[in-house]
Structure 1
Amino acid sequence: MAYYSSYGAAQGVTGSCHLLEVGYLKILVDCGLFQGRDEELNIEEFEFDPSEIDYVIITHAHLDHIGRLPLLVKEGFNKKIISTRATYEIAKLMLANAAGIIQESKNPIYNENDVEPTLRCFGTFLEYNESMQLSEDIKISFKNAGHILGSASLKIEYKEDGMDKSAIFSGDLGQDSRIITSSVQAWEKGNYIFLESTYGDRLHDDLNISINSFKENILKTINNGGVVLLPSFALERTQELLYLLKQMSEEGLLSNIPVYLDAPLATNVTKVFKKFPYLMNDEIKTVFEEGNDPFSFKELKVTLLKEESIRINEVAGPKIIIAGSGMCEGGRIKYHLVRYLQDPRNKVIFVGFQVPGTLGRKISDSANETIKIDDTHIKVKADIEVINGFSAHADQGDLINFVKDLKDVFCIYLIHGDEQRLKIFKEKINDELESKVHIVKKKERIYI
């Protein structure tokens, strides 16, 4: 008998945590933090016994997929965590950074001392197009999910009463065309498909149009003597921006205008990216093969120390500052916003989704209004630009493409999406495909 249960990212987009009970094995797929309006769920006890989990399989290193691993280990899990090697290298950085923040929070669920025992559970690596036997009757495989570096979709093959069965977990899927990441790999067949639905209700803006808008906004601002602020996520988005700025540098468009990478975590994540050129798309691979660094250029200045960050403000004239966090909830970007938001020559460019309630969302919705950053009231006079085409998530068309040619599908189970988007996506699949579709409910147990 095989059963699936969701303990996170059913009827929601954070806290991914999926339990598969196959024969005598209990396999957990991801164990992420709840974020945003669901953040208080992190302090709740697991609905299963962590010590009884035989394997944890990680699809990628975003915190909403790995952020509760230290809590899982703290509460009794001590077996193997399986991932790609790139995911492990990134997870080391992301978990250490998260622990430092969490231990200072009102209700810390773990601290920095819990990270090392968690990392010791890693070390069993599975790469794309490879398989691994978990038992005589259970085999797992990875394919590239195209979401971020090292991201994977997972196939679990098992036997039941002599019958071959399989379940596919999409993980978070990327768009077909990305700046750095290579494309999503398709599976040939699978019986039970657990499909992310983050943007199952919409199509994204064209990436090339978004790239051109990004470059044009930068040029307009620096040519007017202004400062460009780029709030950016440390993982994937910062590396994409660095590559686009490198292109501008090589085209002579930056005119020796300094570009500051004022984000220690993003700097360290970028170092990890350089270890895995073979996981990137053909364009980036070519840059590496020619002996060049796609994330470095002559105008780039990396500021690791706090003192170096402060000295950015002493540099007169136009400049470009990349800093975290991507939604402006913490990190060095907040200090730069206080300094530069009140000058109409300056521009803030948001290249990632801003969750309602975050400082980034308040800024993007508050042109010419007064906002509060920590204890400082600021009049937003700088120009605010929101560019939506950089999403690392597949849109409705990409998601349909992932499943439309799959053979032997018994049912598509929709997860990792807000309730309204899930309903819209289910209707779309019903219109275009013949497969049975089911929206997974929280804590629902499903026989597969």
Structure 2
Amino acid sequence: MAERKTRPVEPRVTFWGAARSVTGSMHRVDACGRSVLLDCGLVQDSRSESLRRNREFPFRPKQIDAVLLSHAHLDHSGNLPNLVRQGFAGPIYCTPATRAVAAVILGDSAKVQEAEAALLNGRRNSGEPEVEPLYDERAVYRTLLRLKAIPCDTPFVVLPGLEATFSDAGHLLGSAMLSLRIDGPQGERRLTYTGDLGRPGLPILRDPAPVPAGDLLIAESTYGGRAHGSADETVERLGEVIRRTVDRGGKLLIPAFSVGRTQSLVYLLHQLLGAGRLPNVPIYVDGPMAVRATEVYRAHPECFDPPALRMLQEHPELFGEGRVTYVEKVHESLALNDEPGPCVIISASGMCEAGRVLFHLQRVVSDSRNTVLIAGYQAEGTLGRRIAERPPEVRILGRSYPLRAEVVALDGLSGHADHDELLRQLTPLAGTTAKVRLVHGELASATALAEALRKLGFGDVAVPERGESAVV
């Protein structure tokens, strides 16, 4: 879709990413003669269209004056280095913990981009152009220099006429909702962006703050129409899966994001072990990124909820040190599957699109004694999604493998609010919010949430397509 040549007079948001899909969050706000991005994430599925969209922005990056970053997950932050590489020179505002997490996630992403480019170049035919990585570690370094840390609940001026406030989203360490006050031609307008909205009662993190009121609400809809299990049910099911796998002599593989999901899993395993509810089985967290991320968690206890703070005071080994083995070296990782007995392996990436988990999957999926535990959302088109759908065979790194391992989905570990939790958090805004635009959800999920919101009294509720705009 062609970009407008002139900026609209009325404050306007254009939805350029995570529109009727989950990954690639990127929304452009045009107001007060300036342009601001809400997030700048990577599209994360296997289609060639995604590669093109990640490389090519639907606007000139030099036109963007600032970025407001909700949190550091790749689908929200992962294309920032490419934005900088292509000419963006403004500030990127986020919370202090997000700045620390982004350094880990973006640094790892650059290494993945460079490794994948090298792999493709090794396979290219004579005469084909060399593949360049989307960005490299130098671009990440330049990006990190632009991150400006602002604590939650502290209003700050983004640009003349634009004031923003972060509030706790409870999704990931440092994650935030955003309230943007805009001096428009018809007076003050307010825009609220939920980013990824967390769940009450999640391990470690504080619960989400109340969603700020706004004239336009941009809300996530990942689990619209679906329900998670309760926290207690989730912990019990996790223990059952481990015991069942150990009883049949198998290995439990948990693909998990290195930041957030891994720490939550280790925290829960620590609780189960402490309560004597698990057999004595080796537990491995595989990947240097997970080690670095855990160090970041330890450095930001201001994001912890009271139970986690108490547990940290009583048990300094909150993230399992002494009971969990953290694996950093490649040869140690490869040796894990040669372990003679049962074990638990937590490894990235969470959607099985890259990382060491691919090598573990090759060794695990064809043995019926083993279990693959799906512990988070799996985007359409990813290997994790295909495994979750339990086909007779799956293709991993170019080879097909029969899928005989047990596959268990545990949605209760999700960092996203489910349908009812979203409604509970958004209902207080009914009657005061003029417009709602639902993003970060596949069409069926977003549509289910939209219908429920209309029944609660929200009037103008829509699920925008990519490139659609809404006046604030």
Contact 2:168–2:208 (8 Å) recurs in 1: yes
Letter in 2 for 1:13: V
Aligned to 2:43: 34
2: distance between equivalents of 1:370 and 1:358? Answer: 15
**8 Å Cα contact 1:371-1:380 kept in structure 2:** yes
State yes or no: 1:332 paired with 2:341: no
Residues 265 and 161 of structure 1: is their aligned pair in 2 closer, same or farther, counting only changes over 3 Å?
same
Q: Which residue in the other structure is 1:114 paired with?
A: 139
Among 424, 427, 432, which residue is 1:404 paired with? 427
Alignment of 1:142-291 (within 5 A): 142-161=166-185, 163-291=187-315
Q: Counterparts of 1:351-430 in structure 2 under 5 Å? A: 351-366=375-390, 369-374=392-397, 376-406=399-429, 408-430=432-454
Which of 459, 464, 467 aligns to 1:435? It is 459
1:53 matched to 2:78: no
Contact 2:243–2:279 (Cα < 8 Å) also in 1: no
Task: Identify the residue that residue 91 of structure 1 maps to in structure 2.
Answer: 102
For residues 213-236 of structure 1, the C-alpha deviation after alignment (integer angstroms, 9 at most, x for no partner) is: 111110222244332222212121
* Equivalent position of 1:63 in the other structure: 74
Give the SS at the match of 1:88: helix
* Distance apart, 1:244 and its partner CA: 1.2
After superposition, what is the alpha-carbon deviation per residue over 1:91-146, rounded to whole angstroms, capped at 9, x for unaligned?
11111111222232455322222111111111x21111111023453211011111
Which has the higher mean CA deviation after the structures are superposed, 140-149 or 342-351? 342-351
Shift of residue 436, structure 1, vs aligned partner:
2.3
Letter aligned with residue 143 of structure 2: T
Q: Shift in Å at residue 181 of structure 1? A: 2.0
3-state SS of 1:274 partner: helix
CA gap 1:380/1:10 in 2 versus in 1, 3 angstroms? closer
Cα drift, residue 357 of structure 1? 4.1
Q: Name 2:127's counterpart in structure 1.
A: none
Deviations 1:15-63 (A, max 9, x none): 1111112213221111111121452343553222211222111001111
**Equivalent-residue separation in structure 1 for 2:383 and 2:157 (angstroms):** 46
Query: What does residue 92 of structure 2 align with?
Result: 81
Match of 1:300 in 2: 324
Runs of 4+ deviating beyond 4 Å: none
CA deviations on 1:185-232 (whole Å, 9 max, x unpaired) are: 114532111111222222223332122111111022224433222221
Shift of 1:366: 4.1
Distance 1:417 1:350, change over 3 A: closer
Deviates more, 1:15-24 or 1:59-68: 15-24
Query: Structure 1 residues 437 and 338 mapped into 2: Cα distance closer, same or farther (>3 Å)?
Result: closer
Equivalent residue in structure 2 for 1:25, among 29, 34, 53 = 34
Q: Is the 8 A contact 1:256 1:299 kept in 2?
A: no
8 Å contact from structure 2 (residues 217, 433) kept in 1: yes
Alignment coverage as a number of residue pairs: 446
Measured in 2, the distance between the counterparts of 1:118 and 1:376 equals 37
User: Which of the numbers 333, 349, 360 marks the counterpart of 1:309?
Assistant: 333
Superposed CA RMSD: 2.2
Report 1:131-142 matches (<5 A): 131-135=155-159, 137-142=161-166
| Structure 1: unaligned runs, 5 residues or longer | none
Change (3 A) 1:434 1:379: closer
Query: Matches of 2:83 and 2:304 in 1, distance apart?
Result: 31
SS at match of 1:268: helix
Letter of the structure 1 residue corresponding to residue 145 of structure 2: R
Unaligned runs of 5+ in 2: 1-9, 121-130
User: TM-score w.r.t. structure 2 length?
Assistant: 0.88
1:417 to 1:221, Cα distance in 2 relative to 1, 3 A: closer
Using a 3 Å threshold, how does the CA distance of structure 1 residues 137 and 221 change in structure 2: closer, same or farther? same
Determine if contact 1:287/1:293 at 8 Å carries over to the other structure.
no
CA distance in 2, matches of 1:366, 1:445: 38
Deviations 1:382-440 (A, max 9, x none): 33222222221112222222322126322112222222332222221111124322332
